[in-house]
Amino acid sequence: MKIHEYQAKELFRKYSIPVPDGRIATTAAEARAIAEEIGGRVIVKAQIHAGGRGKGGGVKLAADANEAESLADQILGMTLVTHQTGPDGKVVGKVLVEAASNIESEMYIAFVLDRETSQLVIIASSEGGVEIEKVAAETPEKIFKTWVDPSVGLMSYQAREVCFALGLKGQAFKDGVKAITNLYRLYEGEDATLAEINPFIVTSEGNAMAIDAKVNLDDDAGYRQADHAELRDLTEEEPLETEAKKFGLNYIKLDGSVGCMVNGAGLAMATMDLIKLCGSEPANFLDVGGGASAEGVENAFKILMSDENVKCVLINIFGGIVRCDRVAQGVVEAIRNIGQIDVPIVVRLEGTNAAEGQAILEESGLDFHTVVGFQAAAQKAADLAGGD
Ligand code: GDP
Ligand code: MN
């Protein structure tokens, strides 16, 4: 789960990682009041679940409260497009108004789960800031990495090693060691999957602090992180995915035109591959799961049908634990409840109770394209969707 910068900074405060004084505003008047309280120059920052805001025009420096008000007025409600939002961008509903810092240098620090080594990797660079992707691509030698073994945890020499790699000196070095140690405590304590500071800065006063904060939290740890539920911002998430979660369905929206309903994550992946090979694009990933009831199937079908990009549905079921007749029942009921369905539905049923499932589809009197064979079904669906 992603959270906003201002929420990540609250977590930073909880773990004593230094951040500038700042508060969240939803109106320009609030932004002005916060800027007046802080005094002096402030920075006005769009809060969306995506990075690259600086380059996209969502982070602006204000000389005083007047300017903070007019900048907040500009940023609030704007559709911010960054290299992470996709072309549609995201509408800004909140801005963070924060005391501006005098930046001497910008560095990069991230803690992220390395699935390959099953360890936590710390990634750091003395060349942080908005061009970090370019640094990684063009001068990878400027990126320092060290791995933390989960059975021993972060060793203090590693925190120092990172600070040497960042080129920190004096007070900034001490601040850096503390920040890294505390970021590790946060990562572990909050069950994060990513904790990133870009930029971590040295100020012209010689101390170091975090002026941006990005934290992703592990959804699977929700049961032992009661405070995390309220950090979720549903307006930033895909509404169809939110709806699917309510029913315990594994649905991910994509941009293609073939709506897929499949049982089993592996078969669902293979189905998406085959649709692509047949010249079309999947509209979603959907694993209805092994134990899907007719009702679960009905909900799944409704969710994938409410994506207006869907031009054809492909139901690909290999009956094992989930029985084909149950799936057929769920689909028929879903269609009856929805009423009119104006896209073709291709069905391939194989395995447990396939014949019974087939009979239910036929007896329904509804119009299905039943196809034998995985490849043939994918080709049929791709053709009916018209490719894209
Ligand atoms: P991002 O682009 O979404 O990662 O947003 P950031 O919070 O990282 O801000 C982008 C850039 O704005 C930073 O890399 C800084 O160069 C600049 N910036 C952010 N806060 C301040 C500040 O307080 N003072 C100054 N001078 N620049 C800032
Ligand atoms: Mn940043």
DSSP 124-138: EESS-STTHHHHHHH
**241 classed as catalytic:** no
Which ligand sits nearest to residue 106's alpha carbon? 1
Whether 315 and 345 have beta carbons less than 8 Å apart is answered as yes
Q: What is the mean pLDDT of each run of 10 residues along the chain (388 residues)?
A: 97 98 97 97 97 94 98 96 90 97 97 95 95 92 96 97 97 97 98 97 96 96 95 90 87 94 93 97 90 80 91 92 87 85 92 93 92 95 82
Catalytic residue among 6, 196, 251, 298: 196
Question: Which structural domains are found in the chain, ordered by start?
Answer: 1-20+102-233 (3.30.470.20), 21-100 (3.30.1490.20), 238-385 (3.40.50.261)
pLDDT of residue 349: 93
pLDDT of residue 323: 87
CA–centroid distance, 72 to ligand 2, in Å, is 19
Atom of ligand 1 nearest to the CA of 51: 3
pLDDT of residue 388: 47
HSE on the CB side for 92, CA within 13 Å?
32
Residue 72: which of 105, 103, 95, 101 has the closest Cα? 95
Distances (CA, A) of 57 to 27, 52, 76, 79, 85: 18, 9, 12, 10, 13
- DSSP annotation of 104 reads E
Amino acid at 304: L
Residue 350: which of 320, 376, 321, 330 has the closest Cα? 320
CA–centroid distance, 161 to ligand 1, in Å, is 25
**196 classed as catalytic:** yes
Angle at the Cα of 383 from the Cα atoms of 380 and 387, rounded to 5 degrees: 140
The angle, 0 to 180 degrees and rounded to 10, between the axes of the packed helices 374-385 and 265-277 is 60
Residue in this structure with the two tokens 């194989």, named with its chain if needed: 350
Compute the distance between CA of residue 108 and CA of residue 111 in angstroms, rounded to an integer. Answer: 10
Phi, psi of 285 (to 5 degrees): -105, 130
CA–centroid distance, 54 to ligand 1, in Å, is 6
Compute the distance between CA of residue 267 and CA of residue 10 in angstroms, rounded to an integer. Answer: 42
Compute the distance between CA of residue 112 and CA of residue 17 in angstroms, rounded to an integer. Answer: 17
Residue 92: which of 110, 72, 111 has the closest Cα? 72
pLDDT of residue 150: 92
- For ligand 1, atom 15, the nearest C-alpha belongs to 129
Which H/E stretch holds residue 250? Answer: strand 250-253
Whether 277 and 375 have beta carbons less than 8 Å apart is answered as no
- DSSP annotation of 178 reads H
Question: Hey, which residues does 44 pair with through a beta bridge?
Answer: 60, 97
Whether 307 and 259 have beta carbons less than 8 Å apart is answered as yes
CA–centroid distance, 33 to ligand 1, in Å, is 22
Atom of ligand 1 nearest to the CA of 50: 3
Q: Which of 103, 126, 197, 202 to mutate to test the pocket of ligand 1 (most atoms within 8 A of CB)?
A: 103
Compute the distance between CA of residue 249 and CA of residue 11 in angstroms, rounded to an integer. Answer: 30
CB atoms within 10 A of CB 108: 24
Compute the distance between CA of residue 85 and CA of residue 83 in angstroms, rounded to an integer. Answer: 6
